[in-house]
Structure 1
Amino acid sequence: MPVPDILLALLVQGLWGMNFIAAKVGADNLPPLTLTAIRFAIAAAIVVPFMPRPRGQALRGVLILSVTFGTLHFGAMFTGLSMVDAATAAVIIQTGPPFSVLLGVLIFKEVIGWRRILGLVLAFAGVVVVAGEPQMVSVVPVLILLFAALSWAVSNAIVKTTRDLPALAVTGWLSLLAIPQLLVLSWLFEDNQLETVRGLSWEVWGAIVYIAVGGSLAAHSLWYSLLRRHPMTVVAPWGLLAPILGIAAGILVLGEAATWQKLVGGAITLTGVGIIQIRSARKGRPVGTPPDEPEAHLGDAPEAAPNRKRTTP
């Protein structure tokens, strides 16, 4: 890539890396489901008025995505993030691409080679190491974040049904449809939401706006401009910088503990994810970018091929 595009790729990874910090600030100051609803309300208000309404199969896809991606992925991710530090969450949530590969094997009967099998083993082994951190008093947040990553992977497979819609339209409409789901769950499981929102500082509001705009809409728009100009094999590996920056920012900005489990486990997981990303991109079946918006994977979801196996080492 030319130097301007390299700088653009670095900017996007910086936006995504700092998104973990902003999300942690939000999750520490708001009930997680309430935070998710506000995040989607901001995104929907910016996007929906300017985008076409989904119809037919696209509408069904967006409805399903509003559950799997909007409510389950983001609701679980912010819930888990409220229970662990940002650096730990940045590692665990990277298991989305490995889960996508597993779904490809289980649902689409894809046959994978030893390199991606090695990537899967490394990705989940790193999470086991991270789960052994001294401050990790319970395995519950690890399981919640793994569920968030699995929900991302499921959404990555579903999003192909929305190809008739512009990417931002998918984001806007699934955000709008997820809001009532999240509000009902928040009413059932959370307390003092209105009082908490009224008492938020401008710094927390800034973090929330950043989650919805800077780390999502702006970053993804820039990312797609790169994807339009360069092959996925060139662009996808840059996505591995975001969790590294997220881990570093959690330690340096938020003062989180730099335990050996976090550093070693993170390195193992990212090595495994890197193997999966690079091998999949070379075979023309990239499994996506850092988990955030489903439009990152439009056109990249595995095509169903129940009667045809592929060997992709």
Structure 2
Amino acid sequence: MPTIPTTGDVHRFGLRDFAVVIVMNVLWGLNIIAVKMAVTQIAPMTAGFLRQAIVFLVCASWLRLVPGRTGTLALLGTLSGGVFYLIINLSLAVSSNIGALAIAGQLGVPFSLLLAILVFREKIHWPRMLGIGLSILGVVLLVFDPAAAREGVGLSLTALASFIWAITSLIQRRLVGVPVLTIYAWVGLMGSIVMAVVAGIAEPAAMRGIPDLPLRTIGWVAFSAIGSTVIGQGSMSWLLQRHSVSVVTPMTLAAPIISVFAAAYYFGNPLTLLMLAGGGVAMLGVAIVTIRTARVGVRVAERLEGKLA
């Protein structure tokens, strides 16, 4: 994974960087539509298998055995490429209000911080605690919105998927220095295996029907695999190699906002005042956690550099 650049390494944030930020957020924001369409036109587990198979095909040339960390890569791939997509695809398959799921999906940020506190005994101060509370409160508000409350199963599955995502974010801390494409080669490989087994058992007819899928349907899966995973994550990696974490991470906050409004427009989901309020509160909490965590990361890196100098 990319390291935090030192002061001398930081480039000026120019038009090309802003263009990459826009592309990254749009790809991530629209991905929820692509995944929903994929699990609607294909069976959800089969759609997950196809996505991970495409990711693996794109990144296969980067697959490596990394001494001392191959087991961690395999575990990350199993959870991130398999278990996470199994749950998230199922949540999208059983839900119609996709905007509500996009808001609930932001629980991954506070979950990851809470796990860091429990696992790494990371100390946090009141601003990030406030951010965690606001993130959870914003999602809880959705329960009181009739338009979103009907998605109880989908919201619960999305919250569970967010928890799995939080676990994978901690695992990735052990993979510093491993190329991003190598990580995603493992995600694609292990994810393909997990999803193939599950889909083969639960959706045998859909798996047999893969060769007969129309190109438009495969296009939704390809957009999700190549656009959101390979290009989106690759853009994030490229930005982090040029700029500090505190500069880059706040610029990812536009993606869930795009998801909410894009889903409302494309699927005709209602945007009630309570849903907008819940989304606003949740995003405020996520923004506080994201920005404060990025700043803490930079200060830690600067202290380490000072000790090594």
TM interval, short-chain normalised? 0.7 to 0.9
Cα distance change of structure 1 residues 138 and 43 upon mapping to structure 2, 3 Å threshold: closer
Aligned equivalents of 2:129, 2:23: Cα separation in 1:
31
Counterpart of 1:74 in structure 2 is 85
Is residue 120–residue 272 contact of structure 1 (8 Å, CA) maintained in 2?
Answer: yes
SS at 1:140 equivalent: helix
Aligned equivalents of 1:285, 1:125: Cα separation in 2:
28
Is residue 29–residue 200 contact of structure 1 (8 Å, CA) maintained in 2?
Answer: no
User: Which residue, out of 209, 217, 222, partners 1:209?
Assistant: 222
Cα distance change of structure 1 residues 54 and 227 upon mapping to structure 2, 3 Å threshold: same
Counterpart of 2:9 in structure 1 is none
SS at 1:168 equivalent: helix
SS at 2:297 equivalent: coil
**Counterpart check, 1:225 vs 2:243:** no
Aligned equivalents of 2:212, 2:17: Cα separation in 1:
41
Q: What is the CA deviation profile of residues 247-306 of structure 1, one whole-angstrom value per residue up to 9, with x for unaligned ones?
A: 1111122222212332111111111000000111111179xxxxxxxxxxxx9xxxxxxx
Q: What is the CA deviation profile of residues 199-249 of structure 1, one whole-angstrom value per residue up to 9, with x for unaligned ones?
A: 543322111100010111112222222211111111111110000011111
User: Which residue, out of 281, 284, 292, partners 1:271?
Assistant: 284
Counterpart of 2:59 in structure 1 is 47
List alignment gaps of at least 5 residues for structure 1.
287-298, 300-313
The residue identity in structure 1 corresponding to 2:99 is: A
The residue identity in structure 2 corresponding to 1:230 is: H
Counterpart of 1:35 in structure 2 is 47
Aligned equivalents of 2:33, 2:298: Cα separation in 1:
30
CA RMSD of aligned residues (A): 2.0
Q: Aligned-pair distance for 1:8?
A: 2.1
Q: Aligned-pair distance for 1:41?
A: 0.3
The residue identity in structure 2 corresponding to 1:3 is: L
User: Which residue, out of 52, 56, 76, partners 1:65?
Assistant: 76
Q: Aligned-pair distance for 1:103?
A: 0.4
Cα distance change of structure 1 residues 174 and 195 upon mapping to structure 2, 3 Å threshold: closer
Aligned equivalents of 1:62, 1:256: Cα separation in 2:
38
User: Which residue, out of 175, 178, 184, partners 1:165?
Assistant: 178
The residue identity in structure 1 corresponding to 2:132 is: L
Is residue 58–residue 164 contact of structure 1 (8 Å, CA) maintained in 2?
Answer: no
Counterpart of 1:24 in structure 2 is 36
Counterpart of 1:251 in structure 2 is 264
Counterpart of 1:305 in structure 2 is none
Aligned equivalents of 1:285, 1:92: Cα separation in 2:
28
Cα distance change of structure 1 residues 228 and 2 upon mapping to structure 2, 3 Å threshold: same
Aligned equivalents of 2:213, 2:145: Cα separation in 1:
31
**Counterpart check, 1:126 vs 2:126:** no
Fraction of identical pairs, as percent: 27
SS at 1:165 equivalent: coil
Q: Aligned-pair distance for 1:35?
A: 1.1
Is residue 131–residue 142 contact of structure 1 (8 Å, CA) maintained in 2?
Answer: no
The residue identity in structure 1 corresponding to 2:75 is: I
Aligned equivalents of 1:138, 1:214: Cα separation in 2:
27
| Number of equivalenced pairs | 286
**Counterpart check, 1:95 vs 2:95:** no
Q: Aligned-pair distance for 1:198?
A: 5.1
Q: Aligned-pair distance for 1:190?
A: 3.4
User: Which residue, out of 117, 124, 127, partners 1:105?
Assistant: 117
Aligned equivalents of 1:216, 1:281: Cα separation in 2:
22
Q: Aligned-pair distance for 1:187?
A: 2.9
SS at 1:56 equivalent: coil
Aligned equivalents of 1:180, 1:109: Cα separation in 2:
34
Aligned equivalents of 2:208, 2:217: Cα separation in 1:
14
Is residue 101–residue 154 contact of structure 2 (8 Å, CA) maintained in 1?
Answer: no
Q: Aligned-pair distance for 1:142?
A: 1.4
Q: Which has the higher helix share?
A: 2
List alignment gaps of at least 5 residues for structure 2.
1-12, 302-309
